Chain A
Amino acid sequence: MSSHYEAPIREPLVLGEKSYHDITMDIVKPIEGKANKNWYVAFTIALVAFLWGLGCIAYTISTGIGAWGLNKNIGWAWDITNFVWWVGIGHAGTLISAVLLLFRQKWRMAINRSAEAMTIFAVFQAGLFPIIHMGRPWNGYWVLPIPNQFGSLWVNFNSPLLWDVFAISTYLSVSLVFWWTGLLPDFAMIRDRAVKPFQKKIYALLSFGWSGRAKDWQRFEEVSLVLAGLATPLVLSVHTIVSMDFATSINPGWHSTIFPPYFVAGAIFSGFAMVQTLLGVMRKVTNLENYITRLHIEYMNIVIMVTGGIVAVAYASEFFIAWYTGSPYENYTYMSIGAATGPYGWAFWSLILFNIAIPQLLWIKKFRRSFIVSFLISIAINIGMWFERFDIIAIVLSKGHLPSTWTRFEPTFVDVGIFVGTIGFFFVLFLLYARTFPVIAQAEVKTIMKSSGEHYKQLRDGKNEH
């Protein structure tokens, strides 16, 4: 990861006259300094939402799943919608840190730490839902293939839900290890700067005794590469498996071979949108404008455009195929005239608007490079992707094979409370992270200072006006 020559025509990835020490100072500022009022306000709101969600979860577990709006024909709705949504959001982190690492995309360095943090926190939220959506979560460990005393009971390896268990837990553990590996030199840097003994002790523990020797760096690079290689297939596998919850079932609208690639593209689409949302705020709040630049925003927008395009094509083909079968059973899948004109028409059109129509604005370069437009579009995509999952689950289940079973779903306050609670939990984690973790992989950013730092580029290209 050493510095390579970068053509002058390329935009620099680090702006301003930054020295190495400046980077250190910029990164540790939120950790060593005091939090401002905004942070406390945001944290309090997130904490309240989280506690409210916890209360709703406690209520569900103590009274029963009946606290939710589900019924005999719609066995999943917000629970699995939220699960898939959060898993999808988690996708960008690994993609940025692993795939882009393998492709040697240096712009990832400014965003990978936060993207991965987002991944891990999102997977926490996602993992919550499969557990609490169970009627008897206290028996949840039965889905693990643990040798047991129950007789010859074993898990059912045919079930996509079981594959989910493996996929999500693998994904979480690999992501966590990868993230932590990247964090080691940065934790060590904070440890070395720490003056309070307690803080020093904590960061010493977190940095696993990083010494900064050449051997450390060499192993660091090797492990990063190996983990990136391991994590890359996970980017594809996790959402492929999540999609199989639906694709392997027999409900018209779920039973669709296009689901795995379509879900993976959708996941990256939503993951990048969430990164945009978070970084759009974070770069302002923590004064990281020089590290997370317009160029980063534009690159991410391009990824959003590509994956959004894949998703749009997938919708179109779903719609076409449902119609083309001529089967009356396909008349009401989530992508059909039946859905567009039925009681969930509003959800159908929300999906089209937020996921297809609005992201098309990114074709315009001005918008693509605009922080505020990108931020707003990313919010739209987050909403749109939630609706995508809601449509797939609720619309399909609401119009099953037998018309006598057609029904509707309305969330209760508990459904809403739990969803809001996970958002709260996510932000609690993220805000704590922003105050205690180095939010940018400073060790890595420092490696590209000479090749892609604005100041050094100017020096090298002889354009130094100073």
Chain B
Amino acid sequence: MASNKKYWKSVEELNENSSIVASLEQNEFNEGQAPESFLGDKETLEASSTTRRDFLKYVGFTTVAASLAACEGPVIKSIPYVVKPEEVTPGIANYYASTIADGFDFANVLVKTKEGRPVFILPNKEAKGTTNARVNASVLSLYDSLRLRGPKVKGNTASWSDVNGKITAQLETLSNAGEKIVILTGTLASPSTDALIADFAKKYNNVSHVVYDAISESAALDAFQEVYGERALANYKLEDAKTIVSIGADFLGDWQGGGFEAAYAAGRDVKAGKFSRHIQFEGNYSLTGANADKRVVLKPSEQAYALINLYNAVTGQNLASKKTPGDAAIKQAAAQLKKSGSKAVVITGIQDKNAQLIALAINNYLNSEILDTTNVKYVRGGNDAEVSTLIAELKAGKVGALITYNTNPVYTLAKSADFKAGLKKTKLTVGFSSKEDETLNEMQFALPTPSYLEAWGDVKMTASQYSLTQPTIKPLFDSKQFQDCLLAWSGQTTSYYDYLSAYAKSDVLGDKSWNTTLHDGFAPLSATVLSASDIDVTAAASAFKSGIKSGAFELTLYSSVAMGDGQQANNPWLQELPDPLTRASWDNYLLMSKADADELGFSNPIKDNGAINGQYATLTVNGVKLENVPVLIQPGQAKGSLGLSYGYGKTKALKEEMLVGVNAYSIAFGGSQVVSVENTGGDHLFACEQLQHTIAGRHDILRETSLEQYQHGHAEEWNPRPEVSLKHQETDVNKVDLWEDHDRSIGHHFNLSIDLTSCTGCGSCVIACHAENNVPVVGKHEVRVGRDMHWLRIDRYYTSEGDAITDNKKTNSASSEDSAELYQKLETPEAINPQVAFQPLMCQHCNHAPCETVCPVAATSHGRQGQNQMAYNRCVGTRYCANNCPYRVRRFNWFKYNSNDEFDFHMNDDFGKMVLNPDVVVRSRGVMEKCSMCIQMTQATILNAKNEGRAIDVNEFTTACSSACATGSIKFGDINSPEDEVTELRKDKRAYRLLEFIGTDNNVVYQTKIRNTNEA
């Protein structure tokens, strides 16, 4: 049934006669008015209320509105786990035992990971591992944004299958043609890799493996091999030594792979009743020289004669030699050695096989028990002769294929041009590296390797220990291990992991399980005793003597504490780590004595902005010139001795800011060299953190005494308590207080003790602090103008006159005759041979903190556990606290140091940011920051114990610096826990607190430095 409902469209329809209704009925589909009818009509247009200007306004508004609506807020990708890995709990750290072996630094480490990211490297103390600054910093090198991200063939990206196919095919062709295939690597010390290379050599003909160390220890290896029949380095049990005589060996630095500082410090422990005497003969001022009890300044050629003289003095023989200025000291040293007998040791850093033989001969003559020829070291294996042969063969076009791994010869070879020319003549060149470095740039195949934190491996650092490397993160980039590639090329289908575990199980571990070893990071091995053959000292000495080159200037190249061999040159933490002696960062420089500098017209003026400048020198060695080497005057540098560090002057795979320094390798022709120096003037801008090099008569700051005084003198004499007048009575400063003190006996009360005797100044703690606390890197210019952000710094003081003890006496008696000359004398370090003392300095966590009272907004206040705390988000940045801090440990965020292109370091890219410790906030611009005594670590310790329902263990509390310290100089703990080591240390008779007379009642305690001044 059809509906007859009628719908009304409007009231108008009621009116039957409506014309509108009628016209609408006629015209149902009304056409719109044609635009021409109104746009074409000027009059209508002018009458329109919408003017052209209005129209533009509307257009403008809608455009802006549309574009605004198109904008989105920043999207932060935060993806939760779909399937959470069992061992990863956000906020809870995991630790993996692993081993770093980058060819220069070898160490057993623990890798701390947070949410699957490695963020911190600790020493694996169970494996007796120690970490230096570079090892600590290696975690940041993992996140280097300039790492090679995928394989490249002749500069073009390629796939791994493609690359492997091409290389295998070429290798087969070359092998069949009988061409030479050379694998050139740095020291690997990896038994499984050695086995793998042997397998590879079975598959292809004519394969040889050449080991090349950028900083060679070939002389020592050759000497040891000659006497003991194995290519290894002798070890030294310095913890038992009574006398250590070192001629030019920087054994607290990187000499023979380093790692001796823990044993050295253990042998100088007054509590344990032993204290070795260390006599150092050297030309440059090394870290080792700074720690020596007696340092004798000799330039390299004189050191060489001194070694023969020492042999003569010890053995009573009369080998031909020459007189040196150090002969008196040599006689005394010989007497000391003989007195200590088998507890004495002689070591030398002279890069000459015969010199090493003489040192071995002296040790054998002394029946030295310190020289350890059983537990030998494999951390250097380079063979200079083989490398020279290889270069010659390459140049002659006799090599068919060259595979490099863990080495950067184009950068580190003095004959780099020959090497490069040789590469052009080689049919197949394959380079493995994590960076597209100087060498990879020259290779046909540039293949990325993972960082040791992403890789498997095994390392045999010493004869008595087998260590494993395990991945702690999935490879960040499309990289493959060298070993996996070798396996693929040799036609094996197993992965390196399978190969490694099979190798370890069958050849190394015996009964010990793979899993336990992997968990521990190491397994002990039994070392075989090596039998010694006789040393022909006479022949060695005469050969040695004839090879001694002397000249007006003798250059010794050394590896700097921060940069080592230079493979981590793109690591901003290391670039900004000040050298312990010069306290300059972001640079290498020619070290020169004051006398030579005066002669050649070099100077280091201090500029008005508190920065040091210098001039450039041109060095000529064997006709090779090295230009634009800035000169830094080093007190205590032997006249005629020059020093220049390796590791700088790299050009490839570096951020712009890191393109600093000169390449010392370009003039490294082995050993110390006679050079000529020319002053070319100019203005070099140094980034030096310390301008005043002496203590300026303020001996309270750095207390030092002799072993004699310590053992037999009164503590009040060498460690006097500061006193103030109270009611006209001299009273101990700590007993004078305006206020009632808080009761600090309940809960934890953290203290930090720093032993100035065992602190070698190595800077490991500084980097550990950077890593743990997200300390920003500020770059060369900012360091130069005094704006470094180090929460922990190591002050270095030279004596202004002779040794510290005489210095102290002289200046104390002189204080009554104040004069400008006296000031001049106190302020200037002795030029010839000053002594050095290091003082690590962080926030002293004063119980009566001067910073706390002056902050208008109470952003810094005292913690219940002894910390002086800093509430970053409360800080308004008046910097009053920093001005009122007598220790000047507070650091201000002058700029925004993260996500700022002006500071293009790790905090400016997404990879670098992965190293940030999620437990510590990244500070914003305009706030003050400083050492927190790692409160995030102490709180974590407390919470762990609480969760586990137990009391906190003895010495369980640690900070980043205390855990990184290899010598145990920095100890942290709770003084309310009587068993904690620090409780005793605080009361020790050596203990003093910095500037105690101010009455700040610090929670950081220093232990007076002791030197063994007893002559035999």
Contact = CB atoms under 8 A, between A and B. Distances in A.
Interface stretch (A101-109, A152-160, A261-269, A351-359): A152-160
A400 B691 CA distance: 13
Interface stretch (B321-329, B523-531, B673-681, B696-704): B696-704
Interface string A54-83: 000000000111100111111110000000
B610 interface: yes
Contacts of B998: 250, 401
B452 interface: no
A404 B878 contact: no
B818 A337 contact: yes
15 contacts: A64-B925, A66-B787, A69-B785, A71-B785, A73-B888, A74-B610, A136-B927, A143-B876, A156-B853, A156-B857, A159-B854, A162-B856, A402-B698, A404-B795, A407-B786
Contacts of A33: none
Interface of B: 606-610, 690-692, 694-698, 701, 782, 785-788, 793, 795-797, 811, 815-816, 818-820, 823, 839, 841, 850, 853-858, 874-880, 882-884, 886-888, 890-896, 924-928, 994-995, 998
A406 interface: yes
Contacts of B891: 72
A343 B605 CA distance: 12
Contacts of B876: 134-137, 139-140, 142-143
Interface stretch (A18-26, A275-283, A321-329): A321-329
A323 B691 contact: no
A410 B856 contact: no
B609 A408 contact: yes
A103 to B, nearest CB: 36
A249 interface: yes
B779 to A, nearest CB: 11
Contact of A249 (B608, B690, B850, B888): B850
A314 interface: no
B818 A402 contact: no
A317 interface: no
Nearest to B854: A159
Contacts of B888: 72-73, 400-402, 405
Contacts of B882: 72-73, 75
Interface of A: 63-66, 69-76, 130, 133-137, 139-140, 142-143, 153-156, 158-162, 165, 245, 248-251, 323, 326, 328-329, 331, 337-338, 341, 343, 397-398, 400-410
Given A65-B877, A134-B878, A337-B820, A71 B787 contact: yes
B818 A331 contact: yes
Contact of B823 (A65, A69, A139, A338): A338
Contact of B690 (A250, A398, A404): A404
A232 to B, nearest CB: 27
A149 to B, nearest CB: 14
B714 to A, nearest CB: 23
Contacts of A63: 895
Most chain B CB within 10 A, of A69, A139, A158, A250, is at A250
Contacts of A400: 886, 888
A155 B818 contact: no
A386 to B, nearest CB: 18
Sorted from nearest, which 3 A-B pairs have the closest CB atoms? A135-B877, A135-B926, A66-B894
A76 B883 contact: yes
B886 A143 contact: no
Contacts of A143: 856-857, 876
B823 A337 contact: yes
Contacts of A66: 782, 787, 894-895
A343 B998 CA distance: 27
A153 B877 contact: no
B610 A408 contact: yes
B887 A341 contact: no
B823 A73 contact: no
Contacts of A406: 691-692
Given A72-B787, A75-B892, A250-B886, A153 B694 contact: no
A4 B464 CA distance: 107
A155 B856 contact: yes
Contacts of B691: 406-408
Contact of B853 (A158, A251, A326, A407): A158
B611 to A, nearest CB: 8
Most chain A CB within 10 A, of B697, B819, B886, is at B886
Contacts of B874: 142, 153
A402 B700 CA distance: 10
B894 A401 contact: no
A329 B698 CA distance: 7
Contacts of A133: 878-879
Given A71-B787, A323-B818, A328-B697, A134 B877 contact: yes
A29 B896 CA distance: 54
Contact of A251 (B786, B815, B884): B884
A160 B877 contact: no
B756 to A, nearest CB: 14
Given A158-B853, A328-B815, A329-B698, 19 more contacts: A65-B926, A66-B782, A72-B786, A75-B880, A76-B883, A130-B878, A135-B879, A155-B857, A159-B856, A245-B880, A251-B886, A343-B606, A397-B883, A403-B694, A403-B797, A404-B690, A404-B796, A405-B888, A407-B786
